[in-house]
Amino acid sequence: TSDECATDGGTDGLNEVEAMDKEYVFGTWSYQKEVSPTEMVDSEGVYFTDARGERRLDFSGQLMCANLGYSADRVADAMAEQARRGPYFAPSMTTENRARLGKHLADITPGELSKTFFSTSGTEAVEAAIKIARLYTGKHKIVSRYRSYHGATYGSISVTGDPRRLMAEPGIPGTIKAPDPYAYGSTLDPMESLEYIGEMLMLEGDTVAAVLVEPVVGSNGILVPPKEYLPRLKEIAHDHGALLIADEVMAGFGRTGEWFGCDVFDVAPDIMTMAKGLTGAYAPLGATVVTGEIAAHFEENMFCHGHTYAGHPVAVAAGRAAVETYIEDDLIDHARSVGDYLGDRLDELAEDHPSVGETRGVGLFRGVELTKRSDRREPFGHRKDKISTGKTVVDEVSGEAWDDGVYLANMINTLIIAPPLVISEDEIDEAVAVLDDALRHSDRAMEA
């Protein structure tokens, strides 16, 4: 995702490395004058340490990607071994790691998903999904939703709904936005919003290649739709000759307590995109997995896509070792059980803090939405605030937590809680105690 989700609470007095970095390296998604990088030097378990010796508990898995925490030696070793044996071979050649990772993905994904295109990021995974859907259906439009993030390049930002899209407009042609399954503070019921999508598809005629959604919306607020939503969306899409693309870049790999967000709803999409947890953030790797039927189309039609680093040997070594770590260390079940515990602890915070409008989520994928008027469900931050300068109340809460030893990402008006899957209940308690303190800040900022 975007660093725009991240917050370091601000640092006065950069050290030499930080000052050099600020001078020579762009900070992502930022007004450069506000960029304040903190030098990191070490990490272990669910903690990371900066150059001043401050250790912080990672309550957001960096950008909701460090699913394995910082001590997955099996992954680090696999990368080092591959780098020594052969750091790079062109995509027309292969390695055992690439073949086995492809097979693993076919095994762990739902339904008929079976063949993978590897890239280097979630953004590229989405780009490939758009291109594949267009080539396969011969149609060009993509329907996605307003509360969504799908990537930063022109195609993926054009199908993104959140305000980051606005600076890249007009973007690519043929993208249409639909309403969201957002219940809190919205007038549209999630299931009504779904029927609206059906109406849109009907009115667009036979021109829509795919409907693209995050099964559980991530950076736009951790929105879990009702159980029937995704199955019905698939029906609606198929009734209108459109594919269902599930963007699992953030929700995938145990985040929800299941392998994939789609598994929470027992739905198998036609195309699935993934990145982040695919390597537990040890290496940049994206994947676009398609059904056997879609794959078969490209037997006789050119798969007109690729990158130099498509399926980079070191990255797929990390991916294979990461998937094997999820399986052997039973991390999906662990995420489900500690995820329930996390949910209970956050609900307690909601009772104690009037500025907590709603806590929601599933597994280790939770959002805490802050409101300045709980009676009106009125958020502290507005969606457009993320492209204006300055700190929001939600940034200040994250900043307080940072100063007290907990890293907490946020987006607009929601704190995003997505720790490494290896987190223990004691570590959750430690982070919740810090959050409890930090929320006094938003309580004080509430309007009477």
Residues interacting with ligand PLP, by CB under 6 A?
A: 1, 121-123, 126, 149-151, 214, 218-219, 247, 249-250, 275
CB 134, min distance to ligand PLP, A: 18
- Residue pair 212/180 in contact by the 8 Å Cβ criterion: no
**How big is the CA angle at 150 (ends 146 and 152), to the nearest 5 degrees?**
115
Phi-psi region of 211 (alpha: psi -120 to 50; beta: other; left: phi over 0): beta
Q: In 224-331, at which residue ranges do the beta strands (DSSP E only) sit?
A: 243-247, 271-274, 286-291
d(CA 439, CA 346): 12
Residue 144: φ, ψ to 5°: -135, -175
Q: Nearer to ligand PLP by C-beta: 18 or 253?
A: 253
Task: Report d(CA 117, CA 103) in Å as an integer.
Answer: 12
> What is d(CA 41, CA 274) in angstroms, rounded to the nearest whole number?
28
Residue closer to ligand PLP (CB basis): 367 or 400: 367
Please, what is the minimum distance in Å from the beta carbon of residue 271 to ligand PLP?
13
Smallest gap from residue 128 Cβ to ligand PLP (A): 12
- Among residues 70 and 149, whose Cβ is nearest to ligand PLP? 149
* Phi and psi at residue 365, to the nearest 5°: -135, 90
Whether 51 and 25 have beta carbons less than 8 Å apart is answered as: no
If you compute the radius of gyration of the chain from its CA atoms, what whole number of angstroms results? 21
CB 286 within 8 A of CB 311: no
Please enumerate, as own/partner, the contacts of 301-308 that have beta carbons within 8 Å and a separation of 24 or more: 301/135, 303/117, 304/131, 304/135, 305/117, 305/128, 305/131, 305/132, 306/91, 307/91, 307/119, 307/120, 307/124, 308/90, 308/91
Nearer to ligand PLP, 318 or 432 (CB): 318
Least spacing, CB of residue 413 vs ligand PLP, in Å? 17
In angstroms, give the least distance from the CB of 293 to ligand PLP. 24
- Residues contacting 3, CB < 8 A, separation 6+: 27, 28, 29, 30, 63
Q: How far is the CB of 222 from ligand PLP (least distance, A)?
A: 11
Quote the least distance from Cβ 151 to ligand PLP, whole Å: 4
* 142 strand-pairing partners: 175, 210
Q: How far is the CB of 37 from ligand PLP (least distance, A)?
A: 18
Name which of 6 and 295 has its Cβ closer to ligand PLP.
6
- Indicate the residue among 149 and 309 with the shorter CB distance to ligand PLP: 149
For ligand PLP, the closer of residues 38 and 219 by Cβ is 219
To ligand PLP, the closest distance from the beta carbon of 393 in angstroms equals 23
| Residue with Cβ nearer ligand PLP (5 or 237) | 5
CB of 47 to ligand PLP, least distance (A): 23
Task: Quickly tell me which residue has 């993934």 as its tokens.
Answer: 274
Q: Which is nearer to ligand PLP, 139 or 276 (CB)?
A: 276
| Cα 386 to Cα 381: distance, rounded to the nearest angstrom | 8
- Residue 119 or 413: the one with the smaller Cβ distance to ligand PLP is 119
Query: Residue 372, SS3?
Result: strand
